[in-house]
């Protein structure tokens, strides 16, 4: 058995090496690749991912998994071997169920739909994208059928991004969120000018923005010996090979400082997670996030729960002054705290604040679940979009580009991905509540820039587990809770009622 | 047969994608990788290269090649299919002969010898490296036996880097070079201060050096839409995926301008070659150099034959003035020409000028051939090194670090690689002579910075052929000649007797 396990490890090492190559090819594509390289790069990435897919789904891998599974579980649920086999079995079982023919069809349809989405958004014309979205929904339904499910085909897709998540649970979550947040949003809307973000508007030199963002990232614990900061049009983080090479990217916007600073804290949160995987997990299926939702919980934790807190503002003000001499002299920590927490119902998800963000997700969730079970006709989707915008935020997009065409996800062929964002937000608030109990002096630490105890807590409870446990299991172990909406809504209500005075 | 060819193409596409991933992993390793990523990167590269090796040497590939070879040749010697099969058959035949066990032993020995070389060079103590060099020689001999040869085991190794090259031929080449160059070197040594490189010494801002180097690269025809310039400790060029993504790197040395400018022209020469491969060769074994020697001929052509010519100096002087205001005001084109052509017998190969360079190679050739056939004892190698240095240059290294330990190649386990440098130099002079005949107004063009006709000539005769032909075949088609020493020695003698007055 030990020999077979070594054989499986070697196969997983090959998949990991291909994954690392793919990650670097993708990072480079967004950061340094010369323009003429684009077409060949797409082809290279497709081949590399097909090689990895084949390595995972081939008969030899399947046989090894079948032979080793019970042997590994017998080593104890928490053992490396048991977790290793659980993770690779899950990947194998999923990928092996999707017929090669469907993978190919999806890939072709996605290429076409991505292009169509681009053109449609440019023309702000949903009709140009509609037939492609129809095809994407149809192929995703076939994918769900191939994967299998108990109650809803949407469950099968959800499970790809967040193991164990179900539509039944999400219906309740989004309803509870809408009920909890809509009154807060309404109250804020009525007091819009109580909080000003003026301190972050102005003219900020790009190089200084990057310097500030990097100084914050390092202070939070980001290890530049195992990472780097680069510029990208759309910020992302990428574990080229976690935990030893985990990179962040950011961008600058001269007249709006948070576009760099908070995007960077967000990506740093992702990167801290992957830099915290145990070294012995490298080149195994365990050097990975427990789920997309858990990954997002780490970025949101640092970006919002910490980065937009009052003690963080007090700590950060001298840094703002250092990097932008003169610009922040007359401001107080409270000014910075308020500037970082102005909330405003807006049309665009990626620009949404922490209060409104999850309702952007709720409406996408509603649309994509209905598209998948065919209870919503494609042509009626923009109408539902706009109606939901009105209901949640009291505003209506003036065209499709700032409405239903704003996100790339469906164009990429991804259905079932959006909820991860909300799951991440909920988990971040649950972890925050748990940490506060364990670290009573937390605010004072943050005010002094002592982030190490926070990071150590996350490292121990979350990062060091890699992908050993299912997401809800991990949350239970870390915070003693099931996934829950309450801590998040509580956090929002308390914070924003104080900020806006309602 | 068409179907089988498609199948083989798909396999080659996979190898090319793995090759491209490996190239990017290697480029990044030297340019942007964070330090802690080093170990995992080595492991990733090893896995990727093993996957490519397996893809090439597996039975399925062998059967396809055997089935298709005659069919492809029947399409005509110059056809795409015929050249494709010749190239892949050559790769297959070579790699399949080397037993997996030997590949592994070589890889382990090379890792150890590379480390030992590093330490030995630092300590300047050949004895620390000697047992590793012995092992490297032994394993290379076994590799040669596995590959097979007619006359000398060295031929089998040579053939890996320069198809068709033989020791018999090289013995003659190096003897002719030594006979032709030694008197020139002696004459120069006696007139050392006739030529001054003072204009290139001083204090040159790194950013301006990079700007100048890039402007020259673009003027020569380097396409930045399909390439980029980065910094690296040891300059190199890398075809991430030729012809659409071919990158150069360079470095700066504040007190010595040629370290950036001429290294950059050299790498640009390599990159121009790969940017000139036909697009339809991408992802096939034909998107590759005809040999290492031909690759080197392209870098040396631009670096030396063009970059150190009198009309080039006239064209470049205004650029020097532009990038370093004030520093070049009082200098004439002739000053620049002379500064770029000071020759000096020196200890270190990588710093050697075009006159002395090939004799550095000659002495390495002599040592490595004798090590391989065991006519030289490892412990006597430093003595032979020093004796040859005395014979060729009239100087003696004061220690092993500036003597036999200066190059990494043997530490890397490579025997039979060095001659490529000389072959490249010879070919560059032969191509130069051929172009002069075809482009009578060449000097006037260069003086005006019109490099396009030169590049077009190389594109047509060399670059566009990719790896369709064996190196000497390519040279014959391009210049109507066999590999020959005369044009190079003639070029050196004429140029340097005029410069130094003998």
Residue A482: per-residue pLDDT: 94
Can you tell me the mean pLDDT for A459-476?
97
A239 DSSP assignment:
E
User: d(Cα B377, Cα A20) in Å, to the nearest integer?
Assistant: 44
φ, ψ for residue A250 (rounded to 5)? Answer: -150, 180
Provide the H-helix boundaries in A301-380. 310-323, 333-339, 357-372
Give the CA angle between residues A454, A459, A464 to the nearest 5°.
Answer: 170
Q: A60, A239, A244: best mutation site toward chain B, by most B Cβ within 10 Å? A: A244
Encoding tokens for residue A292? 């997309």
Neighbours of A1 (CB within 10 A): 12
Q: Which of A492, A474, A494 is nearest to A482 (CA)?
A: A474
Q: Which of B356, B339, B429 is nearest to B188 (CA)?
A: B356
Q: pLDDT at residue A108 above 90?
A: no
C-alpha distances out from residue A483 to A163, A166, A357, Å: 13, 12, 18
* Cβ-based contacts of B282 with chain A (< 8 Å): 40
**Half-sphere exposure at residue B331, Cβ-oriented, CA atoms within 13 angstroms:** 25
CB contact under 8 A, A21 and B283: no
Bond into B243 cis (ω within 30): yes
CB contact under 8 A, A244 and B282: no
List % helix, strand, coil for chain B (3-state, nearest 5): 70, 5, 30
Supply the pTM of this predicted model: 0.94
Residue A4: per-residue pLDDT: 97
User: d(Cα A84, Cα A73) in Å, to the nearest integer?
Assistant: 10
CB contact under 8 A, A34 and B224: yes
Residue-level pLDDT, tens digit, chain B, 502 residues: 999 999 999 999 999 999 999 999 999 999 999 999 999 999 999 999 999 999 999 999 999 999 999 999 999 999 999 999 999 999 999 999 999 889 889 888 988 999 999 999 999 999 999 999 999 999 999 999 999 999 999 999 999 999 999 999 999 999 999 999 999 999 999 999 999 999 999 999 999 999 999 999 999 999 999 999 999 988 999 999 999 999 999 999 999 999 999 999 999 999 999 999 999 999 999 999 999 999 999 999 999 999 999 999 999 999 999 999 999 999 999 999 999 999 999 999 988 999 999 999 999 999 999 999 999 999 999 999 999 999 999 999 999 999 999 999 999 999 999 999 999 999 999 999 999 999 999 999 999 999 999 999 999 999 999 999 999 999 999 999 999 999 999 999 999 999 999 9
* Cβ-based contacts of A22 with chain B (< 8 Å): 21
* Cβ-based contacts of A228 with chain B (< 8 Å): 32, 34
Nearest by CB to residue B25, choosing from A24, A32, A224, is A24
Q: What is the pLDDT of residues A201-253, one digit of tens each?
A: 999 999 999 999 999 999 999 999 999 999 998 899 999 999 999 999 999 99
Residue A302: per-residue pLDDT: 98
Residue B374: per-residue pLDDT: 92
Where do the structural domains in chain A lie, given as residue ranges?
2-97
Q: Is B431 left (phi over 0), alpha (psi -120 to 50) or beta?
A: alpha
Q: What is the crossing angle of helices A2-31 and A38-57, to 10°?
A: 160
Give the CA angle between residues A468, A473, A475 to the nearest 5°.
Answer: 105
Q: pLDDT at residue A392 above 90?
A: yes
ipTM over 0.90: yes
List % helix, strand, coil for chain A (3-state, nearest 5): 70, 5, 30
User: d(Cα B370, Cα B364) in Å, to the nearest integer?
Assistant: 10
Q: What is the pLDDT of residues A269-318, one digit of tens each?
A: 999 999 999 999 999 999 999 999 999 999 999 999 999 999 999 999 99
Residue B100: per-residue pLDDT: 85
Q: How far is B293 from chain A, CA to nearest CA, in Å?
A: 26
Report the DSSP pairing between strands A245-250 and A229-231. parallel
Contact B430, B484 (CB under 8 A): yes
Q: For residues B201, B207, B209 and B215, what is the CA-based torsion angle, rounded to 10 degrees?
A: -160
User: d(Cα A311, Cα B44) in Å, to the nearest integer?
Assistant: 42
Question: What are the residues facing A237 on neighbouring strands?
Answer: A248
> In percent, how much of chain A has pLDDT > 90?
95
Contact A106, A143 (CB under 8 A): yes
Q: How far is B212 from chain A, CA to nearest CA, in Å?
A: 20
Distance of CA A221 to the CA centre of its chain: 20
* Cβ-based contacts of B228 with chain A (< 8 Å): 32, 34
Length of chain B equals: 502
φ, ψ for residue B198 (rounded to 5)? Answer: -55, -40
Encoding tokens for residue B405? 């330990």
Residue A199: per-residue pLDDT: 96
Residue B312: per-residue pLDDT: 98
Q: What is the pLDDT of residues A334-386, one digit of tens each?
A: 999 999 999 999 999 988 999 999 999 999 999 999 999 999 999 999 999 99
User: d(Cα B369, Cα B388) in Å, to the nearest integer?
Assistant: 14
Q: Which of A242, A263, A268 is nearest to A253 (CA)?
A: A263
Nearest by CB to residue A228, choosing from B17, B25, B32, is B32
Q: What is the pLDDT of residues A43-73, one digit of tens each?
A: 999 999 999 999 999 999 999 999 999 999 9
Nearest by CB to residue A226, choosing from B17, B37, B223, is B37
User: d(Cα A119, Cα A129) in Å, to the nearest integer?
Assistant: 8
- With CA atoms as reference, the chain B residue closest to A227 would be B34
The catalytic residue positions of B are 267
Residue B329: per-residue pLDDT: 95
Residue A111: per-residue pLDDT: 86
User: d(Cα A277, Cα A288) in Å, to the nearest integer?
Assistant: 8
Residue A121: per-residue pLDDT: 94
Provide the H-helix boundaries in B221-356. 258-275, 292-300, 310-323, 333-339
């Amino acid at each position: 058995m030990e020999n077979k396990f070594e054989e499986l490890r070697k196969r997983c090492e090959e998949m990991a090496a291909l994954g690392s190559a793919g990650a670097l090819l993708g990072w480079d594509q967004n950061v340094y690749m010369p323009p003429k390289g684009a077409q060949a790069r797409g082809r290279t990435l497709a081949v590399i991912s097909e090689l990895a897919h084949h390595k995972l789904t081939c008969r030899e891998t399947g046989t090894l998994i079948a032979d080793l599974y019970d042997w590994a579980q017998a080593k104890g649920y928490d053992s490396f071997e048991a977790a290793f086999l659980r993770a690779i079995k899950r990947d194998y079982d999923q990928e092996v169920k999707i017929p090669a023919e469907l993978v190919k069809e999806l890939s072709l349809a996605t290429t076409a739909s991505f292009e169509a989405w681009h053109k449609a958004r440019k023309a702000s014309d949903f009709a140009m994208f509609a037939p492609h979205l129809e095809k994407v929904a149809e192929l995703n339904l076939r994918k769900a059928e191939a994967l299998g499910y108990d109650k809803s085909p949407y469950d099968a897709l959800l499970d790809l991004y967040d193991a164990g998540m179900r539509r039944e649970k999400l219906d309740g979550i989004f309803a509870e969120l809408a009920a909890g947040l809509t009154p807060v949003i309404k109250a804020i809307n009525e007091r819009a000018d109580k909080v000003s973000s003026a301190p972050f508007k102005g003219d900020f030199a790009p190089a200084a923005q990057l310097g500030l963002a990097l100084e914050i990232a390092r202070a939070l614990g980001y290890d530049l010996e195992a990472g780097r900061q680069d510029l990208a049009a759309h910020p992302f983080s990428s574990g080229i090979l976690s935990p030893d090479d985990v990179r962040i990217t950011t961008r600058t916007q001269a007249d709006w400082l948070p576009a760099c600073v908070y995007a960077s804290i967000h990506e740093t949160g992702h990167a801290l997670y992957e830099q915290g995987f145990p070294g012995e997990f490298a080149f195994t299926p365990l050097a990975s996030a427990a789920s997309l939702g858990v990954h997002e919980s780490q970025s949101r934790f640092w970006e919002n729960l910490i980065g937009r807190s009052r003690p963080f503002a007090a700590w950060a003000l001298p840094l703002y002054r250092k990097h932008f001499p003169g610009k922040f002299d007359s401001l107080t920590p409270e000014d910075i705290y308020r500037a970082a927490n102005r909330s405003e119902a807006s049309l665009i998800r990626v620009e949404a604040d922490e209060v409104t963000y999850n309702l952007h997700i709720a409406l996408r969730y509603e649309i994509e679940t209905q598209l998948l079970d065919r209870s919503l006709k494609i042509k009626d989707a923009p109408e539902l979009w706009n109606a939901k915008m009105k209901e949640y935020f009291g505003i209506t997009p003036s065209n499709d580009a700032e409405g239903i065409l704003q996100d790339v996800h469906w164009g990429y062929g991804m259905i079932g991905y959006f909820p991860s964002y909300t799951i991440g937000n909920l988990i971040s608030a649950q972890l925050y509540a748990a940490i506060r109990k364990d670290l009573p002096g937390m605010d004072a630490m943050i005010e002094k820039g002592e982030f190490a105890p926070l990071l150590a807590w996350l490292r121990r409870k979350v990062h060091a587990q890699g992908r050993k446990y299912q997401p809800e299991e991990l949350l239970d172990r870390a915070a003693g809770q099931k996934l829950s909406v309450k801590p998040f809504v509580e956090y929002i209500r308390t914070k924003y009622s104080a900020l806006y005075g309602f």
